[in-house]
Amino acid sequence: MRFYTFVLKNILRRRVRSALTVIGMAVAVGAVVALVGISRGFERSFLAIYQREKVDLIIQQRGVKQKLTSVLDAGLGKKIAEVPGVKTVNSGLVDFTSMDELGPVGVLVQGWEVDSPMMRHLNILTGGRPLEASDKNCLLLGERLALSLDKKVGDTLKVFDDATYTVRGIFKSNTVYENGGMVVPLADLQRFMGRRGQVSGFTVTVDQPDHKAEVERIRHAIEALGKNLEVTPTIDFVNSTQEIVFIRAMAWITSAVALVIGAVGMLNTMVMSVFERTREIGILRAIGWGRWRVIRMILMESMVLSLAGGAVGAAGAVLLTRVLSNQPAVSGMIDSYVAPDVIAQGFLIALCVGLLGAAYPAYRGAQLLPTEALRHE
Amino acid sequence: MNKPKHDPFLFRTEQLCKLYPDGQVHAVEDVNITVRRGEYVAIMGPSGSGKSTLLNLLGALDRPTSGEVYIDGMRLSKVRNVDRLRSRMLGFVFQSFHLLPILTAVENVQVPMFEGRLSASARIARAKELLDLVGLGHRIHHMPQKLSVGERQRVAIARALANEPIALLADEPTGNLDSVAAEGIFELFARLHREEGMTIVLITHDEELGRRAQRLVRMQDGHIKSDVFSARRRLRTPLPPFAV
Ligand SMILES: Nc1ncnc2c1ncn2[C@@H]1O[C@H](COP(=O)(O)OP(=O)(O)OP(=O)(O)O)[C@@H](O)[C@H]1O
Ligand SMILES: [Mg+2]
């Protein structure tokens, strides 16, 4: 018999104890991977909203860090388009509304001009079509929202308290916020929200986006159009948006809490399972084993158990995220993707904490005199 | 290691004391005892008289409160790696066997060999040999719980012999066995002593079995009350009967 065979037999033939240890580790690893994965998902979705359009500059009201509270005069769009070097100008109004079917969860509503390029670039699923100027009381639903509301193209639904709208199309976006939201004509949103002539902001593309000095010049030219204008390159904008800062902080805190809870759980599982073996350590010492062989055996065992726990936990977390993200209450808020580095991180923590948790009681047990260890119950 | 040239004794104690602090019990008090290589010693005495404590001290499983144990001339308190000494020189047999329940007989016997130099295949061969020696050659792949208690103790003895020790120390090896199985185990000890020249120190509560040893040490209240070399056995070994 080889030493590692002995270690494996120790694990495989003590099924109940090994299973309990693996489950304990798996729950902790799963919690870490799921929580970190979900909070990262929030952050990722939010970033994607801004990055999808590949816009170069974002124009908002000065001093307002939150897109939702920015208010600008819609007429500004024409002046911006006249700035030399500007290729396209899009305006939009973003707001939230609530729907009886969804309880207290707010739904993101984007108001777009029907002839805007954003409308044209929208990925409409078969059976539907983008909004047109001739449409009256029509809207587009994000894929997930359509699923939550159980609406198809051609169905009607009540929005903005009690206006009846017809679903013209269902679109798929790569951001969960949009997938869980809807698109209506800009004018409708302005009317229902009592925000006539207002937009949340403009997005601008330029002719030469790689020409830094040119982009800077356009930026200043646009800023000069009004006192209250803030023009930000997309990257800076995304990084300074209050939502992003907030969501990053949330993600960080959630992950940190998950890590602490997970690590304590793993430590507890491992320490208990090794402490239980003090007597066995006494026997092994009495029949001739040195301290280091005992410690080596236990570390090898806990390494296998930690990795098994990590695998089960990570798989469980991926499944859980998938199931949770399909629940109507959260649809549109969580995406089901767990990044590989989050999984790897879960494994690494399981391995480190598992070994650490095993090393302490193993070392303690091995330091005891064999008679003391044998007396242990 | 600090090994004097000609120490004739395998075990020697000097004013050996063990005091358990919780009860202020002198489990072993001022014990001076010597055991030569190849001797077969039985320790007897009432419960609580300190037999196990003495045996554990002799086998370096425990540390004395004061006094000294010498094994093969090496002063235990000065030996840096007691584990290695224990694994190379001593084999232990316990009343409740202490086999690993998850391993078969032949696997249990191999466990101490991880500290030796044998290859994996040589370990298996040696374990089989030892199980043959203790009369269990036909049960090598049995789990301990599938063996009778007498057979379990044989496996434990084979395991104690795994690293070719000089001495076997056994604490009531037949305490959990019926008289027939106990008889068999004592025959095995006698054979190991006679044929392999094994030094044996064992504890027993059975007068009849105890008398079969070459030498009978009686303990009471942590002291050695008597130490008698059996006349019957004297003829067989050329060693001096009393060693102080
Ligand atoms: N760990 C311990 N802590 C405190 N006292 C102990 C401990 N172990 C043994 N003793 C005490 O030391 C004395 C000697 O115990 P020991 O086990 O050596 O006796 P023994 O002769 O082997 O008895 P038995 O025949 O019952 O096995 C007893 O009074 C016992 O209560
Ligand atoms: Mg005893």
Taking the domains of chain B in order of start, what are their residue ranges?
39-49+82-229
For residues A125 and A33, membership in a common domain is answered with no
Ligand nearest to the Cα of B49, by number: 1
Strands B9-20 and B66-71: antiparallel
**Average per-residue pLDDT in chain A?**
85
What spacing in Å lies between the alpha carbon of B49 and ligand 1's midpoint? Answer: 7
For residues A215 and A294, membership in a common domain is answered with no
Kindly report, residue by residue over B141-182, the tens digit of the pLDDT: 999 999 999 999 999 999 999 999 999 999 999 999 999 999
Instruction: Express as a percent the part of chain B with pLDDT over 70.
Output: 92
| Residue A237 covered by a domain | no
| Residue A41 covered by a domain | yes
For residues A290 and A315, membership in a common domain is answered with yes
> A189 is in which domain, residue-wise?
63-227
| Residue A350 covered by a domain | yes
CATH class of B39-49+82-229: alpha beta
CB B85 within 8 A of CB B79: yes
For residues A33 and A67, membership in a common domain is answered with no
Closest in A2, A3, A371 to B61, CB measured: A371
Q: At what angle do helices A15-51 and A340-367 cross, to 10 degrees?
A: 150
Element (H, E) at B31: strand B25-31
Query: How confident is the prediction along chain B (244 residues), in pLDDT tens digits per residue?
Result: 455 556 789 999 999 999 998 778 889 999 999 999 999 999 999 999 999 999 999 999 999 999 999 999 999 999 999 999 999 999 999 999 999 999 999 999 999 999 999 999 999 999 999 999 999 999 999 999 999 999 999 999 999 999 999 999 999 999 999 999 999 999 999 999 999 999 999 999 999 989 999 999 999 999 999 999 875 554 444 444 444 3
Calpha distance B171→B180 (Å, rounded) = 19
Task: List chain A residues with CB under 8 Å of B100.
Answer: 280, 283
For chain A, how many structural domains are there in total? 2
Q: Indicate the top mutation candidate among B51, B58, B217 to test ligand 1's pocket, ranked by most ligand atoms within 8 A of CB.
A: B51
Q: Indicate the top mutation candidate among B52, B219, B221, B224 to test ligand 1's pocket, ranked by most ligand atoms within 8 A of CB.
A: B52
ipTM of the complex: 0.91
- The single-letter DSSP state of residue A124 is B
| Residue A233 covered by a domain | no
Kindly report, residue by residue over A304-337, the tens digit of the pLDDT: 999 999 999 999 999 988 888 887 776 666 677 8
Measure B60 CA to nearest chain A CA, in Å.
9
| Residue A75 covered by a domain | yes
For residues A105 and A135, membership in a common domain is answered with yes
Scanning A156-241, the segments in alpha helix (DSSP H) are 176-179, 186-192, 212-223, 234-240
Query: Which residues are CB-neighbours of B219 under 8 A, at least 6 positions away?
Result: B43, B44, B45, B49, B50, B51, B54, B225
Answer yes or no: do A280 and B100 touch at CB < 8 A: yes
**Looking at ligand 1, which atom is closest to the CA of residue B51?**
21
For ligand 1, say whether the CB of B51 is within 6 Å of any of its atoms. yes
Q: Show the tokens assigned to B160.
A: 């104690």
For ligand 1, say whether the CB of B53 is within 6 Å of any of its atoms. yes
